[in-house]
Chain A
Amino acid sequence: MGYTIAEKILLKHSGQKTIKPGEFIEASIDVALANDITAPLAISEFKKSGFKQVFNKNKIVLVPDHFAPAKDLKSANQCKILADFAKEQGIKNYFEIGQMGIEHALLPEKGIVLPGDLVIGADSHTCTYGALGAYATGMGSTDLARAYIDGKCWLKVPATLKFIYRGKLNKWVGGKDLILFTIGQIGVDGALYKVMEFCGPVIKKLGMDDRFSICNMAIEAGARAGLIAPDAITKKFVAGFKRKSKFYQSDPDAVYEKTYEWDISKLEPLVACPHLPSNVKPVSSLKDIKVDQVVIGSCTNGRISDLRIAASLLKGKKAAPGVKLIIFPATQKIYLQAVKEGLAEIFVKAGGVFSTPTCGPCLGGHMGILAEGEVAIATTNRNFLGRMGSPKSFVYLSNPAVAAASAITGSITHPDKIRKGRFSN
Chain B
Amino acid sequence: MIIKGKVHKFTDDINTDDIIAAKYLVSTDAQELGKHCMETVSPNFSSAVSPGDIIIAGNNFGCGSSREHAPLAIKGCGISAVIAKSFAAIFFRNAINIGLPFLESADVDKINEGDLIEVDLSTGVIKNITQNQNYKTQAFPEFLQEIVGSGGLINWVKKTTKSR
Contact = CB atoms under 8 A, between A and B. Distances in A.
Contacts of B143: 24, 154
B66 interface: yes
A24 B153 contact: no
B13 A189 contact: yes
A193 B17 contact: no
Contacts of A126: 66
Interface residues of A, number: 50
Nearest to B41: A385
Interface string A156-199: 00000000000000000000000000000000110011000000
Interface in B117-164: 141, 143, 147, 152-154, 157-158, 161
Interface stretch (B3-11, B25-33, B48-56): B25-33
Contacts of B86: 189, 192
A364 B23 contact: yes
Interface string B65-83: 1111100000000000000
B64 A124 contact: yes
A382 interface: yes
A145 B21 contact: no
Contacts of A141: 68
Nearest to B26: A74
A251 interface: no
B154 A49 contact: yes
A346 B91 CA distance: 42
Interface string A334-372: 000000000000000000000000000001110000000
Contacts of A154: 143, 147, 153
A222 B88 contact: yes
A143 B157 contact: no
Given A49-B158, A188-B13, A224-B89, A391 B40 contact: yes
Contacts of A219: 90
B152 A382 contact: no
A417 interface: no
Interface centre among A44, A48, A66, A189 (most CB of B within 10 A): A189
Nearest to B89: A193
A192 B60 contact: yes
Contact of B154 (A66, A123, A146, A363): A146
Nearest to A121: B66
Nearest to A141: B68
A400 interface: no
Nearest to B158: A49
B154 to A, nearest CB: 5
Contacts of A49: 154, 157-158
B26 A385 contact: no
A45 interface: yes
A160 B153 CA distance: 27
A363 B65 CA distance: 10
A408 B63 CA distance: 34
Nearest to A73: B26
Nearest to A74: B26
Contacts of A48: 154
Contacts of A123: 65-66
A146 B86 CA distance: 26
A224 B63 CA distance: 12
Contact of B64 (A122, A139, A365, A384): A384
A302 interface: no
A11 interface: no
Contacts of B26: 37, 67, 72, 74-75, 77-78
Nearest to B12: A189
A41 interface: yes
A387 to B, nearest CB: 6
A23 to B, nearest CB: 10
Nearest to A382: B64
Interface in A112-169: 121-124, 126, 138-143, 145-146, 149-150, 154
Given A75-B26, A145-B154, A139 B93 contact: yes
Contacts of B25: 37, 66-67
A219 B94 CA distance: 16
B82 to A, nearest CB: 15
Contacts of B105: none
A40 B28 contact: yes
A138 B23 CA distance: 21
Contact of A364 (B22, B41, B63, B88): B22
Contacts of B28: 40-41, 44
A363 B153 CA distance: 28
A224 B28 CA distance: 25
Given A146-B157, A382-B17, 10 more contacts: A24-B141, A40-B28, A41-B68, A122-B66, A138-B66, A140-B66, A140-B90, A154-B153, A189-B86, A384-B64
25 contacts: A38-B67, A38-B68, A40-B28, A41-B28, A44-B28, A50-B158, A66-B25, A67-B26, A77-B26, A123-B65, A138-B66, A138-B90, A139-B94, A140-B66, A140-B68, A141-B68, A142-B97, A143-B94, A189-B59, A363-B65, A365-B22, A384-B64, A385-B18, A385-B40, A386-B21
Interface of B: 13, 15, 17-18, 21-23, 25-28, 40-41, 59-60, 63-69, 86, 88-90, 93-94, 97-98, 141, 143, 147, 152-154, 157-158, 161
Closest 4 CB pairs of A and B: A74-B26, A140-B68, A140-B94, A142-B97
